[in-house]
Amino acid sequence: MITLDAIHKSFEALHVLKGVSLIVPEGGVTALIGPSGSGKSTLLRCVNLLEMPQAGSVRIGDAAVAFAPGSKVSRDAVLALRRKTGMVFQNFQLFPHLTALENVMEGLLTVLKWPRDKARGRALELLEKVGMSPKADAWPANLSGGQQQRVAIARALAPAPSVLLCDEPTSALDPELAAEVIEVLAQLAREGTTMLMATHDLRLAATIASDVVFLEAGEVVESGPARAVFETPSHERTKRFVSTLSGGAPIRDPR
Amino acid sequence: MPHWLSLMIESLPSLVWACLLFTIPLTILSFVLGLGVGFLAAVTRLFGPAPLAALVRFYVWIIRGTPLLVQLFLIFYGLPSVGIVLDAFPAALIGFTLNVGAYTSEIIRAVLVSVPKGQWEAAYSIGMTWAQAMRRTILPQATRIAVPPLSNTFISLVKDTSLAAAITVPELFRAGQRIVATSYEPLILYIEVALIYLVVSSVLSSLQARVEKRFSRYGGFIEAAS
């Protein structure tokens, strides 16, 4: 379980997160939705401390880091927390000087100091899982966006993190390529991978999220089970946001 | 055999010897040490505390703003006045190392910055420390971009080592001067010296092409928009 408590984050004068508290249940997929600039990406990046909050605390399982103005957190605490997470970026950010396979192996070799053979075995398994084993030896520059993102998902999963953080995982992709990434994420969701994702892609959120948090101007407006938030939002603001995104049509496919 | 040709052949061994014994070692040693200095200087400027970064800026300012020949004279002829007496070769080595350090620090700083910030984040996201991210993710990418400008520095350095003649290092150019002093054939000898420099820098240029090719094996960089 991930617990964020009263997270505050400012960039100079801009107060981006105003005391956000959030619980991400284990085995579920929590979608962070909200307009541009609402702070959802920043909140996500506060979970693995790519952004350091000024106040509040982050706990993942037994690793916790608390922030307060003027106090410094230890490097080891940051690393311990970060190593419980994996992250998928909007722009993939594969290492361009490594092949697909080497990208997935990198964390296992460098951080976890696994022997090469063992890392290779694990990486091949993960590439298989995301449907990229035929391209194991390809350079990132020779892969499509959707393929790069699937390799990036395998890389993030390699050290078996407690939570997979996804920052707009499909928004740099055209719909067809986005679909192959959504399929992989949906499969992971069915297998019970805990995920927290920031997204504007309502198709993505509606397909795989079990819980939804609606964020606006650095505050949580509404949160709850995905079905409830999408179909019967209790706040006017959420209602408007959900209807703009779906263009008035029902979001959930009748399945 | 014409006179000029026999003179060239006669003087070739001592010129090549001076090149092998002084010009090339001075070039390679000061380049390698200078790269180390340049890397430390660049990292200090980018990531170090403000006072140290200011000190590095001061160092780069002094070295780039004064002639190399003056720096060499200061080290070899000037420092003895404060009790620091150096042999010619170590004096030249220090001078060239400081010079290479200042120029390459600017190159290294620029290429380190040119690696997208998202690559640092990707490295951190899989749990790397700063040092691991630098060594495994940033440096390999920065190195590739740095090869052409650093090769430039290296090739200039080969020729710049001729300035060491002025502080009595018996390298290639000084060896040529000595033969001129007895043969009175400056045109022939200095052409020969120039040709040897030309051969050495051509060999280095072809090495540069090989290194660049090796680094280009992974194709173009992915556009990183973040």
Residues of B with CB under 8 A from a CB of A: 116, 118-119, 121-129, 132, 136-137, 140-141, 144, 218-222, 224-226
Q: Which of B115, B126, B137 to mutate to test the interface with A (most CBs of A within 10 A)?
A: B126
How far away is chain B from the Cα of A33, in angstroms, using its nearest Cα?
A: 20
Tens digit of each residue's pLDDT (9 = 90 or more) over A13-33: 899 999 999 999 999 999 999
pLDDT, chain A, mean? 91
Q: Which of B125, B134, B135 to mutate to test the interface with A (most CBs of A within 10 A)?
A: B125
Cα–Cα dist A94/A77, whole Å: 26
**Is position B222 within any domain?**
no
Q: How many CB pairs under 8 A join A and B?
A: 85
Compare CB distances from A83 to B127, B144, B219 and report the shortest one's residue.
B127
- Regions of chain A where pLDDT drops below 50: 248, 253-255
Per-residue DSSP letters for B77-96?
IIGGGGT----HHHHHHHHH
CA B61 to chain centre: 18
Q: Is B117 helix (H, G, I), strand (E, B) or coil?
A: helix
How far away is chain A from the Cα of B136, in angstroms, using its nearest Cα?
A: 8
**Is position A253 within any domain?**
no
* Domain with B188 in it: 3-216
**Is position A87 within any domain?**
no
Residue B18: is its pLDDT beyond 70?
A: yes
Cα–Cα dist B7/A67, whole Å: 79
Structural contact between residues A146 and A183, judged by C-beta atoms closer than 8 angstroms = no
Measured between beta carbons, the chain B residues lying within 8 angstroms of A165 are 125
Tens digit of each residue's pLDDT (9 = 90 or more) over A183-210: 999 999 999 999 999 998 877 888 899 9
Cα–Cα dist A26/A193, whole Å: 8
Interface confidence, given as ipTM, is 0.92
Residue of A nearest to B145 (CA): A97
Cα–Cα dist A216/A219, whole Å: 5
How far away is chain B from the Cα of A92, in angstroms, using its nearest Cα?
A: 8
Residue of B nearest to A81 (CA): B127
Average pLDDT over residues B155-176: 95
How many residues make up chain A in this entry? Answer: 255
**Is position A107 within any domain?**
yes
> Encoding tokens for residue A18?
């105003």
Residue B222: is its pLDDT beyond 50?
A: no
**Is position A233 within any domain?**
no
Contact A89 B132 (CB under 8 A): no
**Is position A206 within any domain?**
no
> What does the pLDDT read at residue A241?
85
Tens digit of each residue's pLDDT (9 = 90 or more) over A32-46: 998 888 999 999 999
Number of domains in chain B: 1
Measured between beta carbons, the chain A residues lying within 8 angstroms of B132 are 110-111
Number of domains in chain A: 1
**Is position A110 within any domain?**
yes
**Is position A117 within any domain?**
yes
Measured between beta carbons, the chain A residues lying within 8 angstroms of B140 are 97
| Nearest of A155, A159, A241, A163 to residue A205 by alpha carbon | A241
Residue of B nearest to A82 (CA): B127
**Is position A187 within any domain?**
no
* Model confidence band, residue B32 (pLDDT cutoffs 50, 70, 90): very high
Q: Is A218 helix (H, G, I), strand (E, B) or coil?
A: coil
pLDDT, chain B, mean? 92
**Is position B152 within any domain?**
yes
Structural contact between residues A31 and A194, judged by C-beta atoms closer than 8 angstroms = no
Contact B127 A139 (CB under 8 A): no
- Whether this model's pTM surpasses 0.80: yes
How far away is chain B from the Cα of A136, in angstroms, using its nearest Cα?
A: 14
Measured between beta carbons, the chain A residues lying within 8 angstroms of B128 are 107, 110-111
How far away is chain A from the Cα of B175, in angstroms, using its nearest Cα?
A: 46
> What does the pLDDT read at residue A202?
79
Cα–Cα dist B82/A17, whole Å: 60
Contact A110 B136 (CB under 8 A): yes
How far away is chain B from the Cα of A47, in angstroms, using its nearest Cα?
A: 11
* Domain with A100 in it: 95-141+148-159
Tens digit of each residue's pLDDT (9 = 90 or more) over B102-161: 999 999 999 999 999 999 999 999 999 999 999 999 999 999 899 999 999 999 999 999
Contact A79 B122 (CB under 8 A): no
Query: B203: domain CATH number?
Result: 1.10.3720.10
**Is position B43 within any domain?**
yes
Compare CB distances from B141 to A96, A107, A148 and report the shortest one's residue.
A96
